[in-house]
């Protein structure tokens, strides 16, 4: 049987396979978002000129190479924010900024196991950004700042927050 005869005989099966392959490819592109590995998102938020540093720490890598610093800052009006300075990590799908009650460690998956505070979308995987804590939230239980990939439930990087005198 030649190729044309095979195609005529199995046309519906080939069409169904092509559609299934296209759907699987589109779903993979949506889920993994591989294009983000090639494009950085830059954040350039200003550092507050007033206020005191409550805690600070340096990022270390988990699932992805990560560097930079995390500062927990209290502003003169009583608001508190987490500042990520000179952050450099991989881009990825659904990256969030967490304050976690779990101590910084090498396990990539634990930072949403205990109490954590989701501060929102990561503003940029490169640069500096600020994340305001909700009013009335006591930052004392949170001892780690985490760049978290919600899509895959994994930490990209973690900074242990050492309280400042």
Per mean pLDDT, which range of 1-5, 42-46, 100-104 is the poorest? 1-5
pLDDT at 160: 98
Map out the domains of the chain as residue ranges. Answer: 3-32, 42-163
Task: Kindly report, residue by residue over 26-84, the tens digit of the pLDDT.
Answer: 444 454 565 556 688 999 999 999 999 999 999 999 999 999 999 999 999 999 999 99
Burial of residue 9, with CB atoms counted within 10 A of its CB: 0-12 exposed, 13-18 middle, 19 or more buried: exposed
Q: Strands of 52-58's sheet, edge to edge?
A: 42-44, 126-132, 80-88, 67-74, 52-58, 162-163
pLDDT at 25: 46
Report d(CA 143, CA 103) in Å as an integer. 6
pTM recorded for the entire structure:
0.79
- Give residues with Cβ within 8 angstroms of 33, minimum separation 6: 92, 93
Average pLDDT, the chain: 87
Specify the fold of 42-163. Answer: Immunoglobulin-like (2.60.40)
């Amino acid at each position: 049987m030649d190729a044309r005869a095979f195609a005529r005989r199995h046309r519906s099966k080939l069409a169904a396979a092509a559609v299934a392959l296209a759907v699987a490819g589109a779903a993979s592109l949506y889920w993994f978002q591989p294009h983000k590995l090639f494009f950085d998102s830059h954040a350039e938020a200003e550092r507050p000129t007033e206020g005191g540093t409550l805690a600070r720490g340096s990022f270390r890598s988990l699932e992805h190479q990560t560097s930079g610093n995390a500062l927990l800052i209290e502003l003169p009006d009583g608001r508190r924010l987490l500042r990520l300075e000179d952050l450099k990590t991989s881009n990825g799908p659904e990256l969030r900024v967490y304050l976690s009650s779990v101590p910084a460690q090498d396990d990539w998956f634990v930072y949403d196991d205990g109490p954590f505070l989701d501060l929102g979308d990561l503003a940029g995987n490169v640069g500096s950004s600020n994340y305001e804590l909700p009013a009335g939230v006591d930052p004392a239980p949170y001892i780690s700042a985490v760049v978290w990939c919600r899509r895959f439930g994994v930490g990209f990087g973690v900074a242990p927050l050492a309280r400042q005198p």
